[in-house]
A and B are shown apart, each in its own frame.
Chain A
Amino acid sequence: MLPIIANRLLVAVPTLILVSMLIFGLQKLLPGDPVLAMAGEDQDAQVIATLRVKYHLDQPVPKQYAIWVSDVVHGNLGSSLRTDVPVRFLIAQKLPVTLQLALMAMVLAIGIGIPAGVVSAASRGGPLDHAANIAALSGMSIPNFWLGIMLIFIVSVRWHLLPSSGYVPPSEDLWLSIKTMLMPAFVLGAALGAQLMRHTRSAMLGVLRTDYIRTARAKGLLRGAVVVKHAFRNALIPIVTVLALLFGELLAGAVLTEQVFTIPGFGKLVVDAVFNRDYPVVQGVVLVTALAFIVVNLCADVLYMLLNPRLRRS
Chain B
Amino acid sequence: MATPFQVRSAAIAGAPPKRTYRGLARFMRNRAAVFGALLVALVVAMALLAPWLTPYDPLQASFMTVRQAPSAAHWFGTDELGRDVLSRLLFGARASLLAGVVSVGIAVLLGVPLGLLAGYFGRLVDGVISRIADALLSIPFLILAIALSAFLGPSLVNAMAAIGISAMPRFIRLTRGQAISVKAEEYVEGARAIGLDHARIIVRYILPNVLPPIIVQGSLTVASAIIAEASLSFLGLGQLPPAPSWGSMLNTAKDFVSQAPWMSIFPGIAIFLAVLGFNLLGDGLRDALDPRES
Contact = CB atoms under 8 A, between A and B. Distances in A.
Instruction: Decide whether A and B are members of one complex.
Output: yes
Interface of A: 11, 14-15, 18-19, 21-23, 26-27, 29-31, 137-138, 140-143, 145-146, 149-150, 152-153, 157, 248-249, 251-253, 255-256, 259-260, 270-271, 273-275, 277, 279, 282-283, 285-286, 289-290, 293-294, 297
Contacts of B108: none
Given A143-B271, A146-B264, A252 B276 contact: no
A157 B151 contact: no
A22 B140 contact: no
B143 interface: yes
A252 B143 contact: yes
Contacts of A289: 139-140, 143
A239 B235 CA distance: 32
Contacts of A279: 150-151
A290 B276 CA distance: 29
Given A259-B235, A286-B143, A143 B131 contact: no
A143 B146 contact: no
**B contact face: mostly helix, strand, loop, or mixed:** helix
Interface in B207-225: 223
A29 B152 contact: yes
Given A143-B230, A256-B234, A30 B151 contact: yes
Interface stretch (B14-22, B177-185, B197-205, B254-262): B254-262
Contacts of A256: 142, 231, 234-235
**A contact face: mostly helix, strand, loop, or mixed:** helix
B147 interface: yes
A27 B261 contact: no
A138 to B, nearest CB: 7
B291 interface: no
B139 to A, nearest CB: 5
Closest 7 CB pairs of A and B: A18-B135, A146-B268, A252-B142, A248-B140, A252-B140, A274-B150, A141-B276
Given A26-B151, A143-B268, 10 more contacts: A18-B135, A19-B139, A29-B151, A29-B152, A145-B250, A157-B257, A256-B231, A271-B146, A274-B146, A275-B236
12 contacts: A22-B135, A23-B147, A27-B151, A142-B268, A143-B231, A143-B271, A145-B254, A146-B267, A149-B264, A248-B140, A248-B141, A270-B143
A55 B147 CA distance: 21
Given A286-B143, A293-B139, A150 B131 contact: no
Contacts of B143: 251-252, 255, 270, 285-286, 289
A270 B134 CA distance: 23
Interface string B108-146: 000000000000000000000001101110111111101
B147 A152 contact: no
Given A141-B276, A153-B261, A289-B143, A282 B150 contact: yes
Contact of B131 (A14, A26, A157, A249): A14
B139 A286 contact: yes
B289 interface: no
Contacts of A27: 151
Contact of B138 (A145, A283, A294): A294
A141 B279 contact: yes
A27 B237 CA distance: 17
Contacts of A293: 138-140
